[in-house]
Amino acid sequence: MTRFVKTLLALLTGLASPLAAVPMASSADLQSSVYESDPGVCGEAWVLNKITSRFRYQVTHVPHLGDVNIVDFRRIHERRYLPAREDRPIGRRYCGATVALSDGHDRTVWYLIEEGQGFASIGNNVEFCVAGFDRWLVYNGRCRILR
Q: What HEC string does the chain produce? A: CCHHHHHHHHHHCCCCCHHHCCCCCCCCHHHCCCCCCCCHHHHCHHHHHHHHHHHHHHHHHCCCCCCCCEEEEEEEEEEEEECCECCECCCEEEEEEEEEECCCCEEEEEEEEECCCCHHHCCCEEEEEECCCCCCCCCCHHHHHHC
* Arithmetic mean of pLDDT, 69-84: 92
| Window from 4-8, 88-92, 105-109 with minimum mean pLDDT | 4-8
Kindly state the average pLDDT of the residues 11-24. Answer: 40
Distance CA 9, CA 80 (A): 26
The residue extents of the domains of the chain are 3-146
Residue 79 in this model has a pLDDT that exceeds 70: yes
102 confidence band (pLDDT: 50, 70, 90): very high
Task: Note the pLDDT of residue 99.
Answer: 95
Please report the pLDDT score of residue 27 as a whole number.
Answer: 37
Instruction: Give percent above pLDDT 70 in the chain.
Output: 69
Distance CA(78)–CA(39), nearest Å, equals: 7
R_g (Cα) of the chain, nearest Å: 15
pLDDT of 105 reads: 92
pLDDT of residue 120: 65
Give the mean model confidence (pLDDT) for residues 105-130: 84
State the Cα torsion 105-102-142-65 to the nearest 10°: 120
